[in-house]
Amino acid sequence: MSLAQQGPPASAKQVAYIQALMRKAGYDDFRSARTEYRLTPRQARGKFTKTEASALIDRLTSTDDENPTLSVTEEPGTLESAQALLVRGFPAEVLADELRRRGWNVTEPQS
């Protein structure tokens, strides 16, 4: 088991968003939420990789309590699963803009 952070660090905006979501859930800081969200000691100090931050944001914003997203302490098995996990944290508008920049035609889903 490696003690070093694996991957690029989370942005300050991601960490601030996680803090705001945790405050909304009733936790003062990462340490107080460590047990509930199965955070590592490094994460309890507010140190996350981009992948970990995206996964935690998904868990905190998930409305499906029966089927939570991948735990932030689990490591993705493949590059594709890591990329899919990272993409979940982006707003739809940002993803659509990037696809348009690459030449794709993107439309909003119909309800």
pLDDT digits (tens, 9 = 90+) for 77-86: 566 766 776 7
d(CA 50, CA 32) in angstroms, rounded, equals 21
Longest CA pairwise span in the chain (Å)? 46
Q: For the chain, what is the mean pLDDT?
A: 79
> Looking at the whole model, is its pTM more than 0.85?
no
d(CA 70, CA 60) in angstroms, rounded, equals 12
**DSSP letter, residue 110:** P
Report the phi/psi class of residue 54: left, alpha or beta, with left for phi > 0 and alpha for psi in -120 to 50. Answer: alpha
5, pLDDT greater than 80: no
Higher-confidence residue: 60 or 84? 60
pLDDT for residue 67: 43
74, pLDDT greater than 50: no
